[in-house]
């Protein structure tokens, strides 16, 4: 079972690294003004931030081509 956990961890890392390599995550712009999200956690057994808006765009034309390639 230990090998499966390592495989899942490596797969998750590769997926995140690939997404970050081709995508830029920026603050959301509304009315020409950047919106900074508030960092209020949601209580529960697993703490995570409240939903917030952000803009996710390709880093370049080459990155966009990679995203849409089949």
Token representation of residue 21: 């390599």
Whole-structure pTM value: 0.68
Q: Report pLDDT for 1.
A: 56
Sign of CA dihedral 16, 17, 18, 19: positive
| Number of domains the chain contains | 1
Expressed as residue numbers, the domain containing 57 is 2-68
Token representation of residue 32: 């020409």
> Tens digit of pLDDT for each residue in 19-49?
999 999 999 999 999 999 888 877 778 878 8
Assign residue 42 a region (left: φ > 0; alpha: ψ between -120 and 50; beta: otherwise): beta
Token representation of residue 57: 């765009």
């Amino acid at each position: 079972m230990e090998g499966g956990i390592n495989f899942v961890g490596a797969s998750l890392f590769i997926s995140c690294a690939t997404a970050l390599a081709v995508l830029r995550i920026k603050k959301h712009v509304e009315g020409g003004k950047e919106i900074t999200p508030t960092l209020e956690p949601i209580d529960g057994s697993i703490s995570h931030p409240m939903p917030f808006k952000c803009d996710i765009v390709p880093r370049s034309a080459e990155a966009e081509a990679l995203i849409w390639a089949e």
